[in-house]
Structure 1
Amino acid sequence: MSSPSQLLTGLDRVVADPGLLPAGRIGLLTHFAAVTSDLDRGVDALLAAGIDVRCLISPEHGYWGTGQAGTGNDEDLDPASGLPVLDAYGLQGPELEDLLTGAGIDRVVVDLQDIGCRFYTYMWSMTDVLAACARLSLPLTVLDRPAPVATTALGPGLDRRCASFVGRFGVPLRHGSRLGGIARTIAADHLEHPVDLQVLDAPGADGTATWIAPSPNMPTLTTVALYPGTGLLEGAALSEGRGTTRPFELFGAPWCGPELTAALRELDLPGVRFREAAYRPTHSAFAGERVQGAQVHLTADAEPAGFDPLRVGHAILSTVAELYPDQPLWREAVPGRPEFIDLLWGSAAMREGIADRAGYEEILAASPTPIELRR
């Protein structure tokens, strides 16, 4: 057990002082990456501390993080604790309310490892559960965690026409905030009904916790740092490196060539370097095909040097558009829905700006203003 001076998370605080959490039957919205500072599973630590956890509620990728993007839980029972695992991924409104009501709980407790990017979905799983709790008059507690990387907010807000599960509200694209602050913002400013919200803040400094990958394609802190920019490639007709050991660092397409790396190097972007690379993804875009492209590397002084992952994402997309005008740049759109790049960026400004050969600052200026976040 960690001493109070070592406590890093809201989970650690409850384990040390169970009285911080009101008594009652708990439904725990969590996943395997939510551990104590001693790397014990959160659910096991809470049960050992006498907390009456009745079920686990899982977000995207499932409790154990074994599902790829767009999938939920793959098991209905946690063997170690014997608790049922309720799959909340993809549920909102009445379906989510039915799940919570049927769980027979008095409070939802949220403990999720986030990465500080708007289109990473754990924040929105929490938001949807928070809204359902407000409608059900069910209290909710957030066990907060330090952000994995100490960063400032960057990027646009959200056009309401582009609201989706990769962006319910217009938090900055790289928000760099803790989930507790997001929950306070949503509860105070963006819910139709009041909610009984408790946030147990984490006393640790951002960037201090041991990194445990919370999803299959977020293996390292380098991935976390790059993802707000290279994650935009999911909206393009490119490989973003899924199906390799370096997702969101490797990128390309079978029709790219060495000229891509050369052109990106000429841009001399702060905090990153590009290396020519070829790879064969095991799944996702171009699975089994030889992909030619590049790997983006962070320099040792990336943040002090002015590293901006969104600028990196824009540079890759605009360079591909310029070098390969005969190839489709964007993923095929779903009829009746905004293009996926618009959902990721939060508006059509990135897509339209690249078509007009607009610079990064021009695109930002044409994008929605982000909302202010509480701490």
Structure 2
Amino acid sequence: MQQLSLLCNQVSFDFVSQQYLFRILSEKKTLKRLFVPEHGLFGELQDQEKLDETNVYESLDLQGVEVVSLYQHNEKSLAPEVAHLTDLDAIVIDIQDVGCRYFTFTSTIFYLFESLVKHNLSPYIFVLNRPNPAGRQVEGTPISAKYASFIGLEGLPHRHGMSIAELCFYFQEKLNSKLNICVIEDYTDTTINPVSINPSPNIPNQITPLIYAGQCLFEGTTLSEGRGTTRPFEIIGSPDFSWQEISHVCDKINKDWSTKAVLRPLKFIPTFHKFTGEVCTGFQLHLLNDQNYHSLLHSLSIIRELAQIKEDLWRKGKYEFGSEKTAIELLVGDDDLLDFLYGKISLQIIQEKLQESESQWIDLRDRIHLVKNKALSS
């Protein structure tokens, strides 16, 4: 009998049979191991909360299935141990990316592939392809080894515009490997929105993936990025701002962006995370037109303005596995973009750099798309 492992979380739910894929496979007695990424099997864990013990899932009664967390306190846990791979005939990947390099599920897939290549293992890899909720738009620059970490694989731009299957073929090429990747297309009910099940706790709706490439940068600041509210990444603020300061920033940014997005001043109280229970003054980003809306450039411009009125804007200390650098350095991942935030270079220079790097990535993405389609037709 074939021995399978499954890398998934709560999005791996079939609305026709109304069952999770891990339940279907376990009942068929083919599922040997279940790999769980950051945020847990049901997206029950907030960002950077580690899952060392998986006995919380014993009540699921997945008899004979070993549950392995790929996000523990030990950095080595980010990649499966060789003992968790050598006895497998196939690995099934059913995970929802949101189109951005900071979203760690992409890193988890890469580390899985890297382990297979390192140990010269070649199980079949079945990739259940899902639409990218951020679409095909590309934003940003490829991150260099200097800033690479678990929240930014070397070479990926901020917003990659790829599907999960395309990412897998890109990783295969990056590793110079011949992994046995098999793509299963259009297996989901197309009437179900791709983010109808939250892929992680703070991706609550269809808007979040469209603004995430830019607004996630606020994790690198001392401001609340809206965690602890019902609109994470849309709502930003701090108890340290005055209403006049925020209103001034909103007015200035809105002059250039009002056809695409508008910042609305407000006050809010986070129920957890930064500034729990405190009244914050800030803004909500309202996306008016997502056609050619450049979230990264918009958010960089907002943060640059806020940095001029708040001296201690940058979050200090180590932030994530794989690097000793600060959060803003890892998230931005580019010296020129960082210099723009710090007010050292002009908007025009950044726009020209973004245009060039995005054009190069689109060429690569389109070539990988052809590789994926060739694999599907063979």
- The TM-score bracket by the shorter chain reads 0.7 to 0.9
- Residue 314 of structure 1: how far off its partner (Å): 1.0
- Residue 148 of structure 1: how far off its partner (Å): 2.0
> Which sections of structure 1, spanning at least 5 residues, go unmatched?
1-22
Matched, 1:240 2:225: yes
Matched, 1:32 2:10: yes
Hey, what's the Cα distance between the residues in 2 that align with 1:108 and 1:92? 22
Q: CA distance change for structure 1 residues 81 and 106 in 2, over 3 Å: closer, same or farther?
A: farther
Matched, 1:288 2:277: yes
Matched, 1:43 2:22: yes
- Residue 151 of structure 1: how far off its partner (Å): 3.7
Aligned residues of 2:43 and 2:201 also touching (Cα < 8 A): yes
Aligned residues of 1:28 and 1:108 also touching (Cα < 8 A): yes
Q: CA distance change for structure 1 residues 298 and 257 in 2, over 3 Å: closer, same or farther?
A: same
The one-letter amino acid paired with 2:68 is L
The one of 265, 287, 297 aligned to 1:276: 265
Most deviating of 259-268 and 198-207: 198-207
Residue of structure 2 equivalent to 1:261:
247
Q: CA distance change for structure 1 residues 318 and 87 in 2, over 3 Å: closer, same or farther?
A: same
- Residue 44 of structure 1: how far off its partner (Å): 2.4
Correspondences of 1:293-312 after superposition (within 5 Å): 293-299=282-288, 302-304=289-291, 306-312=292-298
Residue of structure 2 equivalent to 1:84:
66
- Residue 179 of structure 1: how far off its partner (Å): 0.9
Aligned residues of 1:148 and 1:211 also touching (Cα < 8 A): no
Identity of aligned residues (%): 25
Q: CA distance change for structure 1 residues 207 and 94 in 2, over 3 Å: closer, same or farther?
A: closer
- Residue 138 of structure 1: how far off its partner (Å): 3.5
Matched, 1:356 2:343: yes
Aligned residues of 1:264 and 1:315 also touching (Cα < 8 A): no
> Which sections of structure 2, spanning at least 5 residues, go unmatched?
370-378
Q: CA distance change for structure 1 residues 352 and 209 in 2, over 3 Å: closer, same or farther?
A: closer
Aligned residues of 1:330 and 1:341 also touching (Cα < 8 A): yes
Deviations 1:197-239 (A, max 9, x none): 2222337779954621111111111122111111011111211
- Residue 78 of structure 1: how far off its partner (Å): 4.7
Q: What TM-score do you get using the length of structure 1 for normalisation? A: 0.83
Residue of structure 1 equivalent to 2:147:
162
- Residue 130 of structure 1: how far off its partner (Å): 1.2
Q: What TM-score do you get using the length of structure 2 for normalisation? A: 0.82
- Residue 174 of structure 1: how far off its partner (Å): 1.0
- Residue 102 of structure 1: how far off its partner (Å): 6.9
Most deviating of 103-112 and 244-253: 103-112
Hey, what's the Cα distance between the residues in 2 that align with 1:210 and 1:369? 28
Residue of structure 1 equivalent to 2:376:
none
- Residue 274 of structure 1: how far off its partner (Å): 1.4
Deviations 1:271-322 (A, max 9, x none): 21111111222222222322111111111xx123x42111221122011012
Query: What's the secondary structure of 2:209's corresponding residue?
Result: helix
- Residue 96 of structure 1: how far off its partner (Å): 3.3
Q: CA distance change for structure 1 residues 207 and 234 in 2, over 3 Å: closer, same or farther?
A: farther
> Alignment length, in residue pairs?
346
Q: CA RMSD in A?
A: 2.8
The one-letter amino acid paired with 2:42 is W
- Residue 323 of structure 1: how far off its partner (Å): 2.8
Most deviating of 155-164 and 338-347: 338-347
